């Protein structure tokens, strides 16, 4: 079956989807992106994702003449054309193509790219075993609240963690934990409170993060959004990461320290179950 993608205003054979050689997304990483989970033929938390996409566009002054409805319909049609019931939808908007110039020109037509890929969610057995992570210095820029396509710092740090034998990298700035290389981070403290870094320019306002906070509150779990240190991280009863494609990933070993009993914690498991129920409704 031919893979179909969307470029600018057309559905197109993926192998023939090309952008201009002087697109500013390629030359300056001048663009933003969004990833949406398509599960059982539904766009999950779609409006929240599009809210974040348009916020990111606004922060870098790109004007996109597409409505939420139009973007949503393109995503649905793309999944249909690729015969996918479960998929990861990648939306990338760049400022467009023009002669190379460090200054930002006015009046460009944004380049719109949307691709879909099949996704298989992690099984409960895999989640029960948990994953490992290592704390590394956060070398990213100072506007991590913008979902920029400039991901080199995150990619280099994630690769460093993998090369060290870990599954994930956890960013720290001045001994304060921010988030993971491509996901948000939560800990469960000794009082069974769910703690995550408060939103600011150092972390992305994750959509799965937002959903998990809502589900936790519905379950009677106290949620605290505040900075926490590397020492608190290591001493936590439970640690897990969240993202659109990972959903909830328990982290049971950090650096050389086993978290809890080395398996997926009780509160983490409760939230996994709650999130799965949410997906199935």
Convert the pLDDT of each residue in 44-93 to its tens digit. 999 999 999 999 999 999 999 999 999 999 999 999 999 999 999 999 99
Strand partners, 249: 241
Per-residue pLDDT tens over the stretch 143-183: 999 999 999 999 999 999 999 999 999 999 999 999 999 99
Identical fold between 4-118 and 124-280: no
Q: How confident is the model at residue 123 (pLDDT cuts 50, 70, 90)?
A: confident
Cα 69 to Cα 231: distance, rounded to the nearest angstrom: 45
Exposure string (b/e) for 238-270, b if CB count within 10 Å is 16 or more? bbbbbbbebbbbbbbbbeeeebbeebbbebbbe
The pTM of this model reads: 0.96
> Where are the alpha helices (H) located in 219-265, listed in sequence order?
230-235
Per-residue pLDDT tens over the stretch 219-248: 999 999 999 999 999 999 999 999 999 999
How much is the pLDDT for 1? Answer: 83
3-state secondary structure 120-173: CCCCHHHHHHCEEEEEEECCCCCCCCCCECCCHHHHHHHHHHHHCCCCEEEEEE
Cα 48 to Cα 206: distance, rounded to the nearest angstrom: 10
How much is the pLDDT for 196? Answer: 99
How much is the pLDDT for 127? Answer: 85
Exposure string (b/e) for 27-48, b if CB count within 10 Å is 16 or more? ebebbbbbbbbbbeebbbbbeb
Cα 79 to Cα 88: distance, rounded to the nearest angstrom: 9
**Structure-block tokens of residue 198:** 């408060």
Among the listed residues 147, 158, 197, 237, the single catalytic one is: 147
Give the mean model confidence (pLDDT) for residues 116-131.
89
Q: How confident is the model at residue 128 (pLDDT cuts 50, 70, 90)?
A: confident
Question: Considering only CA atoms, which of 206, 241, 199 is closest in space to residue 52?
Answer: 206
Contacts of 270 by beta carbon, 8 Å cutoff, 6+ apart: 219, 221
Domain 124-280 has CATH 3.30.420.40: no
DSSP per residue, 66-81 = --HHHHHHHHHHHHHH
Pairing assessment for the beta strands 168-173 and 131-137 based on DSSP bridges: parallel
Q: How confident is the model at residue 6 (pLDDT cuts 50, 70, 90)?
A: very high
Exposure string (b/e) for 123-142, b if CB count within 10 Å is 16 or more? eeeebeebbbbbbbebebee
The chain-wide mean pLDDT, for the chain, equals: 97
**Structure-block tokens of residue 217:** 């509150």
**Structure-block tokens of residue 142:** 């100072």
Report the SS3 class of residue 33: strand
Cα 134 to Cα 161: distance, rounded to the nearest angstrom: 6
Among this protein's residues, is 147 annotated catalytic? yes
How much is the pLDDT for 129? Answer: 84
Q: Which CATH class is domain 4-118?
A: alpha beta
Inter-axis angle of helices 266-280 and 207-218, nearest 10: 110
Q: Where are the domains of the chain?
A: 4-118, 124-280
Local structure of residue 9 (DSSP, 8 states): T
């Amino acid at each position: 079956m031919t893979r179909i993608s969307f470029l600018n205003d057309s559905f197109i054979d993926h192998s023939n989807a090309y952008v201009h050689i002087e697109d500013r997304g390629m030359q300056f990483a001048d663009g933003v992106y969004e990833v949406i989970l398509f599960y059982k033929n539904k766009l999950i938390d779609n409006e929240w994702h599009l809210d974040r996409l348009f916020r990111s566009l606004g922060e870098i002054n790109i004007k996109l003449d597409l409505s939420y409805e139009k973007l949503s319909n393109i995503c649905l049609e793309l999944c249909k054309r690729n015969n996918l019931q479960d998929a990861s939808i990648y939306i990338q908007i760049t400022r467009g193509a023009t002669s190379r110039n460090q200054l930002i020109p006015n009046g460009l037509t944004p380049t719109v790219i949307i691709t879909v890929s099949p996704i298989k969610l992690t099984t409960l057995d895999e989640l029960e075993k948990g994953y490992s992570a290592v704390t590394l210095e956060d070398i990213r820029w100072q506007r991590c609240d913008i979902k920029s396509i400039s991901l080199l710092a995150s990619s280099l740090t994630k690769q460093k963690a993998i090369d060290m034998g870990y599954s994930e990298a956890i960013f720290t700035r001045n001994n304060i934990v921010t988030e993971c290389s491509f996901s948000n981070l939560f800990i469960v403290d000794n009082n069974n409170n769910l703690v995550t870094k408060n939103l600011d320019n150092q972390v992305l306002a994750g959509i799965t993060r937002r959903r998990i906070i809502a589900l936790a509150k519905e379950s009677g779990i106290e949620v605290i959004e505040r900075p926490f240190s590397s020492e608190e991280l290591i001493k936590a009863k439970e640690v897990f990461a969240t993202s659109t494609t990972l959903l909830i990933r328990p982290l049971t070993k950090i650096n050389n320290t086993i978290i809890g009993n080395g398996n997926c914690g009780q509160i983490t498991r409760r939230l996994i179950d709650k999130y799965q129920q949410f997906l199935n409704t």
